[in-house]
Amino acid sequence: MYDYIIVGAGLFGATIAYRAKQQGKKVLVIDKRNHIAGNVYTENVDGINVHKYGAHIFHTDYKDVWDFVNSLVEFNRYTNSPVARIGNEIYNMPFNMNTFSKIWPDVFTPAEAKARIDEERQEMAGKEPKNLEEQAISLVGRSIYEKLIKGYTEKQWHRDCKDLPADIIKRLPVRFIYDNNYFNDRYQGIPIGGYTKLVEKMLEGVEVRLDTNFFDNADEYRKQAKTIVYTGMIDEYFGFKYGHLEYRSLRFETKTLDEENYQGCAVVNYTGHEVDYTRVIEHKHFESTESPKTIITFEYPDDWDDPKKEAYYVINDAKNNELAEKYRALAAKEKNVIFGGRLAEYKYYDMDDVIKKALETEI
């Protein structure tokens, strides 16, 4: 009999496994994939740690979370400062004085930038933003919206910006300083040696079975464990009884190139409709890996229309949130099952949110 059978070897499952092991509990972790670490999985290819499920930058304001991950592995001082490319123009991200002075060559000071943005925001004066387009224009004006937000967002979500919730764009910082650091958080970095190493540390001494789908044997697992920790899709757990939640997927195309430095930074966002991908990742820059070669990944947004595809993003619009709420109510009534993580809570969590939640979950 296990104290815990944990479904999913991603950050939520692994953090719970680590804590349960510390308490001397008997734990089994299963994952349907052939590797641990869920979406933060990194694979060492020719000395370069490749972020197999897209660029992952650890950033947090939670000191306890930062101390926890640093107690397991060492982090470098990587600071995320992606650039955005539209056609043959390059802009700094997130929106800051470097971006503003390039978009408007006669803008040099914060006061000038604010005045120019205010001018462009006039079209939204007195109106409450009802969708993402209106939210973006009232935040940064139409020029930035059209060059740096509209195309990227429509590719990512496969919907017109007028049909998307305003919330999505609130994640993007706007700063009136010459600072290209993407995140506002106090702590930031990449685990030296990759994220898989971090999760390996969490799972040290824990029984792990890969290529193992919970639903192939759910009743058996329930009999074998006092508590199930479930980190898969919440609607799937309940047999989709209220209907399917929607997700967004991604397709990754990775290439090794015989050149040392392809794009000069880890992440370039392609914000226009002239290419179908949204980002190009050059993995060696996360850890300043020295190599005569480089590995790059093109990230293409994809509909989640086939259960064989990975469900990467939850879609927190009104319709899906309402349905998710019904599933969460069922989950709250489910005895001896803990639901946690991005898919089991249907929340747009970052890594630190997931770890925080797992550290605070009563076990």
Residue 77 as a binder of ligand UDP (CB under 6 A): the answer is no
> What are the DSSP E strand ranges found in 137-273?
187-189, 207-209, 225-230, 247-257, 267-270
Write down how long the chain is.
363
**C-beta separation of 229 from 5 below 8 A:** yes
DSSP bridge pairs for 323:
none
Residue 15 as a binder of ligand UDP (CB under 6 A): the answer is no
| Amino acid, single-letter form, for residue 279 | R
Can you tell me the distance from the alpha carbon of 83 to that of 91, in angstroms, rounded to the nearest whole number? 6
Q: Which of 49, 60, 96, 156 is close enough to bind ligand UDP by CB under 6 A?
A: 156
Considering the complex, what minimum distance in angstroms separates the CB of residue 31 from ligand FAD?
4
Give whichever of 95 and 182 is closer to ligand FAD, judged by the CB atom. Answer: 182
Tell me which stretch binds ligand FAD (CB under 6 A): 51-59, 86-94, 111-119, 317-325: 51-59
Q: Which one, of 78, 53, 79, 44, lies nearest residue 291 by Cα? A: 44
| Cβ neighbours, 10 Å, residue 332 | 8
**Contact partner at residue 346 from ligand FAD, ligand UDP, none, CB < 5 to 8 Å by partner kind:** none
**Which residues have a Cβ under 8 Å from the Cβ of 307 and sit 6 or more positions away?**
none
Is 175 catalytic? The answer is: yes
Residue 168 as a binder of ligand UDP (CB under 6 A): the answer is yes
Give whichever of 215 and 240 is closer to ligand FAD, judged by the CB atom. Answer: 215
| Amino acid, single-letter form, for residue 196 | T
Q: Scanning residues 256 to 315, which ones bind ligand UDP (CB under 6 A)?
A: 269, 271
Alpha helices, H only, the chain: 11-22, 63-72, 97-103, 110-121, 132-140, 142-144, 150-157, 195-202, 218-224, 234-237, 318-333, 342-345, 351-360
Rg (CA), the chain: 22
DSSP bridge pairs for 84:
91, 269
**Contact partner at residue 32 from ligand FAD, ligand UDP, none, CB < 5 to 8 Å by partner kind:** ligand FAD
Q: Which of 4, 66, 152, 214 is close enough to bind ligand FAD by CB under 6 A?
A: 214
Give whichever of 32 and 175 is closer to ligand FAD, judged by the CB atom. Answer: 32
Q: Which of 58, 152, 183, 187 is close enough to bind ligand UDP by CB under 6 A?
A: 152
Give whichever of 113 and 233 is closer to ligand FAD, judged by the CB atom. Answer: 233
Considering the complex, what minimum distance in angstroms separates the CB of residue 55 from ligand UDP?
7
**C-beta separation of 354 from 341 below 8 A:** yes
Give whichever of 86 and 331 is closer to ligand UDP, judged by the CB atom. Answer: 86
What φ, ψ does residue 50 adopt, rounded to 5°? -95, 125
Tell me which stretch binds ligand FAD (CB under 6 A): 2-10, 105-113, 156-164, 330-338: 2-10
Is 207 catalytic? The answer is: no
Residue 350 as a binder of ligand FAD (CB under 6 A): the answer is yes
Residue 196 as a binder of ligand UDP (CB under 6 A): the answer is no
3-class SS of residue 148: helix
Residue 83 as a binder of ligand UDP (CB under 6 A): the answer is no
Give whichever of 13 and 191 is closer to ligand FAD, judged by the CB atom. Answer: 13
Residue 84 as a binder of ligand UDP (CB under 6 A): the answer is yes
**C-beta separation of 103 from 147 below 8 A:** yes
Can you tell me the distance from the alpha carbon of 248 to that of 30, in angstroms, rounded to the nearest whole number? 24
- Among the options 248, 310, 342, 349, which is catalytic? 248
Catalytic residues: 171, 175, 248, 279, 299, 348, 350
The site for ligand FAD (CB under 6 A) is made up of: 7-13, 30-33, 38-40, 53-57, 213-215, 231-232, 250, 312, 341-343, 349-352, 354
